Amino acid sequence: MRHSQGILRLVEELESVLVDNAEPREMFLEFTRHLEREYDIAKGLLVLKENDKTRFLAVASWNHGKTRKNLSLLLPSTGSLFEKVAEQGQIYTDNFAELYDGNQMEKRLLLDDYTQSFMLRPLKHDATIVGLLGYSSENTDAFVTFEEGLLDPVIDHFAAVIAQFQLTQQQ
């Protein structure tokens, strides 16, 4: 899945999932279904900033095709790779999952015994982090396309839709 025609088709499919005022958990699961067809995604996680914007909350997960959309798991900030990635504001990929540099809760949510690679991608809108996307794979180098930034426009749109949803929920 590295050729441009395939990427263009995937971007169109992903864009079709992003609907204004849609619930972020539902969008994440549909988004992941489309990604999973092109990437070997083992686990996925949608993490959003808590209402006070200081801590992260795991709100939806994907585990080998099984989904959980009603999570509300407050993540510890101590030793958090998620926090570090959010502060840096850039995609983080790693092909040495056994050397995971975060806390145990994050590790259990994102990785399993067969994970070879993973990525964390901040969801940023108007220079504000609204959440993170995390995916893992049993294949090494599974997320090169993410590193190349080819999916950045659609992921940034996802972040904007989440920010809009959060704003309407606060009103």
List of the chain residues with pLDDT < 70: 1-4, 52, 171
Closest CA to 6 of 46, 39, 49, 52: 39
Tens digits of per-residue pLDDT, 71-115? 889 999 999 999 999 999 999 999 988 889 999 999 999 999 999
Please report the domains of the chain, with CATH numbers, ordered by start residue: 4-160 (3.30.450.40)
Span between the terminal Cα atoms of the chain, in Å? 41
Using a CB cutoff of 8 Å and minimum separation of 24, what contacts does 78-81 make?
A: 78/103, 79/103, 80/56, 80/106, 81/106, 81/120
Tell me what pLDDT residue 80 has: 95
Tell me what pLDDT residue 8 has: 77
Rg of the chain, C-alpha, whole Å: 15
Cα of 103 vs its chain's centroid, Å: 17
Where do the H-state alpha helices sit in the chain? Answer: 4-17, 24-38, 81-88, 104-110, 144-147, 152-170
Distance, in Å, from the CA atom of 33 to the CA atom of 89, rounded to the nearest integer, reads 25
Tell me what pLDDT residue 52 has: 66
